[in-house]
Amino acid sequence: MEAILEKLANPGFDLDQVRSDFAYLELPGPIIYLDNAATTQRPNQVIERMDHFYRFENGNPLRGTHRLGTTATEAMLESRKKVARFIGSKSEKEIIFTRNASESLNLIAYAWGLNNLQAGDQILITRMEHHSNFVNWQFVAQKTGAKLAFIELTDDYQLDMQDYRDKISERTKIVAFSAASNVLGTIPDAAAIICIAKEYNALTVVDAAQLVPHTKVNVRELDCDFLVFSGHKMLGPLGIGVLYGKAEILLEMTPFLYGGEMIEYVEDYESTFAQLPYKFEAGTQDVGGMVGLAAAIEYLEAIGLDKIAAYETALTDYCVAKLEELPYIEIYHPQQGAKGPAIAFNVKNAHPHDVATILDYHGVAIRAGHHCTQPLHRYLGQNSTNRASFAFYNTKEEIDLFIEALEDVKKIMQIDI
Tell me the average confidence (pLDDT) per consecutive run of 10 residues in the chain, 417 residues long. Answer: 91 97 95 98 99 96 89 96 98 98 98 98 99 98 98 98 98 99 98 98 99 98 99 99 99 94 94 96 96 99 98 98 97 96 97 98 98 98 98 98 97 88
pLDDT of residue 298: 99
Report d(CA 62, CA 252) in Å as an integer: 24
Percentage helix, strand, coil for the chain under 3-state DSSP, each rounded to 5: 45, 15, 40
- Residue ranges of domains in the chain, CATH in brackets: 1-43+304-413 (3.90.1150.10), 47-301 (3.40.640.10)
pTM: 0.96
> Which residues are part of the catalytic machinery?
372
Compute CA distances 138 → 117, 175, 249, 346, whole Å: 13, 13, 22, 29
For residue 246, the 8-state DSSP code is -
Report d(CA 314, CA 236) in Å as an integer: 24
pLDDT of residue 416: 83
Compute CA distances 271 → 227, 255, 264, whole Å: 29, 12, 7
C-beta atoms surrounding 321 within 10 Å: 12
Report d(CA 193, CA 183) in Å as an integer: 20
pLDDT of residue 65: 86
pLDDT of residue 290: 98
For residue 214, the 8-state DSSP code is T
